[in-house]
Amino acid sequence: MIMKINCGTIFLLLLWIMSSIGKTQAQQMSVKSNLLYDATTTINLGLEAGFTPHWSLEISGNYNPWTFSDNRKLKHWLVSPEVRYWNCELYNRGFWGFHLLGGQYNAGNIKLPFGLLPTLKDTRYQGWMVGAGVSYGYHLYLGAHWNLEAAIGLGYIYMRYDKFECFRCGRATGQNMGRHYWGPTRIGLSIVYLFNHK
């Protein structure tokens, strides 16, 4: 079963972490939402703070508690911190990043891209995952407080799971199984709000 989490508690924890980064000034902070995750009904929020003219820390969280018709589900929670190096300056043009990720999932009757769980259409998986990767992204200036961010990351994910015969009530066909995955670990097209940005 997916661990129940309190979204308000996670949001407050993320705010506390972001406010603990030395002497971060308001103009160096941003909040964002990944539109691609929004399209999958995944609730998501990213907070980012700069701590030098070229370095920032982003922490993003995703949560999907929904079950759809025909018992299709991609239930999960995921937390992913990323350290970024900006080629020009904070929130301007390109950046390189290194990210970690971790979370839990309960998914079935859905087809995922990149061969992540190839039999997910006919099988239900329930478990946890951890991983890391590198990413590249670009910020496009939209206005005084708004940017559009595109990013892609590649890396490694280790998944531990129980596998079930069907997506409703089937017997377990594998328990405590592991899988190693190499490929895309992050993709985003995010709308970004910049606090007190000039």
- pLDDT one-digit tens code per residue, 46-99: 999 998 889 999 999 999 999 888 888 889 999 999 999 999 999 999 999 999
Whether 100 and 131 have beta carbons less than 8 Å apart is answered as: yes
Q: Tell if the pTM clears 0.95, that is, is over it.
A: no
Give Cα 182 to chain centroid, integer Å: 16
Task: Write down the pLDDT at residue 11.
Answer: 56
Judged by phi (left if over 0) then psi (alpha if -120 to 50, else beta), residue 28 lies in alpha
